[in-house]
């Protein structure tokens, strides 16, 4: 997804609940929206488990926001991230956000940002992130899948269907089928692939990278229930077979 009108993007990182290994692929994805000019990581970096963030923040120009654990059971990191996000919202200088976290506490924040028309990409572990947070985001992308994809050798044979197949279930097929049905179809039942993808994205936080694919066409081609066709104008079309 891209929008040429989006230019100034903020990436806010919950260092307590995400891996520094995901920074590079996350920034690559965020380039879809524009320039990531604001990069901040929040956490108590005095803790040993956050020691790996030291080199990462310098390498990628991320500003660490130190949050000491002043009270047991209270998360100062969540509060600081939320306050900064709302400040950026009301300053009116940010066109979109990336939130790196698997914490459901950020669901109200994401909902509030989207109410003002901002696109919000969420990045977290699918197995750890509650459905409410995933659904609130414009796109929710599995950070573990991004890390795995980024670690693949560029000259390795392309066999994207294999890793993707394991994540394809009836719910995904139904989502894609419903999007195809809602799209404009020709007399042979084919609909524009991009339109189907946009409809699916509007209905949920769907993103092909969560299933091990880089392109929507590759995902559709791996599912037996769909047929993908490339036409003379080089545009791709899809049809549900059953």
Query: 147 and 176, same structural domain?
Result: no
Distance CA 211, CA 36 (A): 25
Task: Choose the final residue of a domain: 151, 181, 208.
Answer: 151
- CATH at 191: 3.30.420.610
Query: 112 and 62, same structural domain?
Result: yes
Tell me if 1 is assigned to some domain.
Answer: no
Tell me if 3 is assigned to some domain.
Answer: no
Query: 65 and 122, same structural domain?
Result: yes
Query: 174 and 225, same structural domain?
Result: yes
106-113 LR contacts (CB < 8 Å, sep 24+): 106/14, 106/78, 106/81, 106/82, 106/133, 107/132, 107/133, 107/136, 109/81, 109/82, 109/85, 110/136, 110/137, 111/136, 112/86, 113/85, 113/89
Query: 206 and 131, same structural domain?
Result: no
* pLDDT tens over the chain, length 242 residues: 444 455 899 999 999 888 888 898 898 888 888 889 999 999 888 888 888 888 888 888 899 998 877 654 457 788 899 999 999 999 998 999 999 998 888 999 999 999 999 999 999 988 888 899 999 999 999 998 888 877 664 443 333 434 444 467 788 888 898 889 888 999 999 999 988 888 887 666 678 888 888 888 999 999 999 999 998 878 899 999 87
Query: 73 and 182, same structural domain?
Result: no
Instruction: Report pTM.
Output: 0.72
Query: 12 and 43, same structural domain?
Result: yes
Query: 196 and 133, same structural domain?
Result: no
- Six-digit token pair at 77? 């990191």
- CATH at 129: 3.40.50.1010
Interacting residues of 222 by C-beta distance below 8 A, sequence separation 6+: 160, 161, 164, 165, 168, 213
The total number of structural domains that make up the chain: 2
Query: 137 and 232, same structural domain?
Result: no
Query: 165 and 139, same structural domain?
Result: no
For residue range 182-232, list pLDDT tens digits in order: 889 999 999 999 888 888 876 666 788 888 888 889 999 999 999 999 988
What domain range includes position 190? Answer: 161-240
Nearest C-alpha neighbor of 132 from the set 106, 169, 158: 106
Tell me if 102 is assigned to some domain.
Answer: yes
Interacting residues of 56 by C-beta distance below 8 A, sequence separation 6+: 20, 23, 41, 62
Query: 187 and 83, same structural domain?
Result: no
For 99, phi then psi, to 5°, come to -120, 115
Query: 44 and 24, same structural domain?
Result: yes
Interhelix angle 53-60/23-30, rounded to 10 degrees, is 30
């Amino acid at each position: 997804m891209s929008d040429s009108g989006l230019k100034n993007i903020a990436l806010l990182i919950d260092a307590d609940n995400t891996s520094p290994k995901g920074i590079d692929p996350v920034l690559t994805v965020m380039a879809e929206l524009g320039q990531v000019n604001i990069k901040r990581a929040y956490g108590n970096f005095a803790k040993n488990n956050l020691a790996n963030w030291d080199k990462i923040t310098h390498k990628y120009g991320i500003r660490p926001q130190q949050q000491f654990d002043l009270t047991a059971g209270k998360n100062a990191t969540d509060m600081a991230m939320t306050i900064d996000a709302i400040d950026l919202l009301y300053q009116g200088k940010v066109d979109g956000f990336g939130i790196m976290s698997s914490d459901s506490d950020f669901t109200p924040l994401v909902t509030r940002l989207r109410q003002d028309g901002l696109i919000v990409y969420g990045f977290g572990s699918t197995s750890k992130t509650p459905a409410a947070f995933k659904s609130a985001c414009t796109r929710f992308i599995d950070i573990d899948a991004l890390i795995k994809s980024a670690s693949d050798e560029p000259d390795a044979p392309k066999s994207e269907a294999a890793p993707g197949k394991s994540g394809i279930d009836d719910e995904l097929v139904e989502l894609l089928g419903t999007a195809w049905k809602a799209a404009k179809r020709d007399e042979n039942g084919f609909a524009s692939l991009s339109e189907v993808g946009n409809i699916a994205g509007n209905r949920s936080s769907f993103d092909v990278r969560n299933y091990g694919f880089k392109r929507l066409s590759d995902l559709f081609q791996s599912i037996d229930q769909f047929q993908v066709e490339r036409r003379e104008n080089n545009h791709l079309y899809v049809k549900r077979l059953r």
